[in-house]
Amino acid sequence: MNEPHDIRNSLLLANLQAAIDTIRATHASNLILAPGNHWFGGHSWTKGGYEANNEWIRKLVDSLNNLAIDVHKCLDEDFSGSRPLCCQAPVSNLAGVTA
């Protein structure tokens, strides 16, 4: 799933968990990447109009414990990646993800 947004975290959590369970039911042992909500940008990891990603995503369960959280960070003025200048402070904007 790429950049989920405008969806309730509870629904995204249920869909992600179903995907993880289905993948593991095939006996696949590869790393699974799970995205956060709100376009899963690092700048909004601990805040947003919904429950923060760092609050609900920890409820995901992988029977093989081979799950990673997929986060990305656009450094332009509105975090969209569509502007020509990188003007955001990457370290401070990712502090909530790496803490």
Segment 2-47, tens digit of pLDDT: 778 888 889 999 999 999 999 999 999 999 999 988 777 776 677 6
Q: In this structure, are residues 74 and 31 in contact, taking their beta carbons and an 8 Å threshold?
A: no
- Give the pLDDT confidence score for residue 74 in this predicted structure: 73
Q: What is the pTM of this model?
A: 0.79
More confident residue, 89 or 36: 36
Query: Residue 78: what residue type?
Result: D
Tokens of 67: 């799950």
Tell me the chain's radius of gyration from C-alpha atoms: 15
Long-range contacts of 53-57 (CB under 8 A, 24+ apart): 53/9, 54/96, 54/97, 56/9, 56/10, 56/13, 57/13
